[in-house]
Amino acid sequence: MSKKVTFSELVKAFAESHDLTQQKAEDMIRGVFDLVIDDLEENGKASITSFGSFELKDVAERTGINPQTKEEIVIPAHKKVSFKPFKALEESVNAPFAGLEPTLLGESSVTETEETTAKEEKEQEPEVFEDPFAEVIKPAEEQDDEAETPDAVEEGSVEEQEESEVEAPPVFVAPEKEKGNEVSWIFIVLVLLIAGTGIWFFFLRDSDPGNIDNVVAGNQAPAQQQAEQVEKVPPAETAAKEEKAPETSAASSEKKNNVKAEPEAKNEMPVPKKLTAYIIEKDEWMWDISREVYGVPYLWPLIFEANKTVNDDPNLVEPANTLMIPSLEGSSSNLTKADYAKLAKATKLVSEAYAKSGNSERAKEYSRFAAKYERNSKN
Amino acid sequence: MNKSETIKALSERLELTQTRTEELYNSLVSTFTEHLSENNGFSIPDFGSFSSEIREEYKSYNPHYKQMMLLPKKKVVRFSQSSALKDEFNEVEL
What average pLDDT does range A6-32 have in this prediction? 89
How confident is the model at residue A226, as a pLDDT?
47
What average pLDDT does range A6-20 have in this prediction? 89
CB A243 within 8 A of CB A164: yes
Residue B9 above 70 pLDDT? yes
Q: What burial letters (b/e) apply to B3-16, b meaning 16+ CB within 10 Å?
A: eeebbebbbebbeb
Chain A residues touching residue B42 (CB < 8 angstroms): 4-7, 10
What average pLDDT does range B74-81 have in this prediction? 91
What average pLDDT does range A358-376 have in this prediction? 78
Would you call B58 an interface residue with chain A, using a CB distance cutoff of 8 Å?
no
Q: Which of A2, A51, A76 minimises the CB distance to B32?
A: A51
Where does the pLDDT of residue A184 fall: very low under 50, low under 70, confident under 90, or very high at 90 and above? confident
Shortest distance, CA A107 to any CA of chain B (angstroms) = 7
Shortest distance, CA A129 to any CA of chain B (angstroms) = 14
A94 to B76: CB separation less than 8 angstroms, yes or no: yes
Where does the pLDDT of residue A284 fall: very low under 50, low under 70, confident under 90, or very high at 90 and above? low
The CATH number given to A7-95 is: 4.10.520.10
- A67-115: per-residue pLDDT in tens? 999 899 998 888 899 999 999 898 888 888 888 888 887 654 444 444 4
Domains of chain B listed by start with CATH number: 1-38 (no CATH), 42-94 (4.10.520.10)
- Report d(CA A68, CA A86) in Å as an integer: 38
Residue A16 above 80 pLDDT? yes
B89 to A41: CB separation less than 8 angstroms, yes or no: yes
**CB within 8 A of A108, min separation 6: which ones?**
none
CB A33 within 8 A of CB B47: yes
Among A99, A107, A172, A174, smallest CA distance to A134 is for A99
Which whole-number Å values give the CA distances from A129 to A101, A116, A160, A292, B72, in the listed order?
Answer: 11, 21, 26, 33, 14
- A130-174: per-residue pLDDT in tens? 444 444 444 444 444 444 444 444 444 444 444 444 444 444 444
CA angle A95-A97-A99, nearest 5°? 100
Residue A313 above 80 pLDDT? no
How confident is the model at residue A206, as a pLDDT?
55
B1 to A37: CB separation less than 8 angstroms, yes or no: no
Among B40, B68, B57, B70, smallest CA distance to A124 is for B57
Would you call A80 an interface residue with chain B, using a CB distance cutoff of 8 Å?
yes
**Domains of chain A, residue spans:** 7-95, 109-257, 266-378
- Report d(CA A93, CA B38) in Å as an integer: 8
Q: What does pLDDT average to over chain A?
A: 66
Would you call A86 an interface residue with chain B, using a CB distance cutoff of 8 Å?
no
Where does the pLDDT of residue A194 fall: very low under 50, low under 70, confident under 90, or very high at 90 and above? confident
- Report d(CA B44, CA B17) in Å as an integer: 25
Q: Which of A3, A28, A119 minimises the CB distance to B40?
A: A3
- Report d(CA B42, CA B44) in Å as an integer: 7
- A31-78: per-residue pLDDT in tens? 999 999 988 888 888 988 889 999 999 989 999 999 999 899 998 888
Q: Which of A81, A94, A105 minimises the CB distance to B75?
A: A94
- Report d(CA A352, CA A357) in Å as an integer: 9
Chain A residues touching residue B63 (CB < 8 angstroms): none
Of B73 and A350, the one with more pLDDT: B73
B68 to A105: CB separation less than 8 angstroms, yes or no: yes
B76 to A83: CB separation less than 8 angstroms, yes or no: no
Residue B15 above 60 pLDDT? yes
How confident is the model at residue A223, as a pLDDT?
44
Most confident of A327-331, A375-379, B17-21: B17-21
Would you call A27 an interface residue with chain B, using a CB distance cutoff of 8 Å?
yes
How confident is the model at residue A83, as a pLDDT?
92
- A224-280: per-residue pLDDT in tens? 444 444 444 444 444 444 444 444 444 444 444 444 444 444 444 444 445 667 676
In DSSP notation, A197-222 reads HHHHHHHHHHH-GGGHHHHHHHHHHH
How confident is the model at residue A372, as a pLDDT?
80
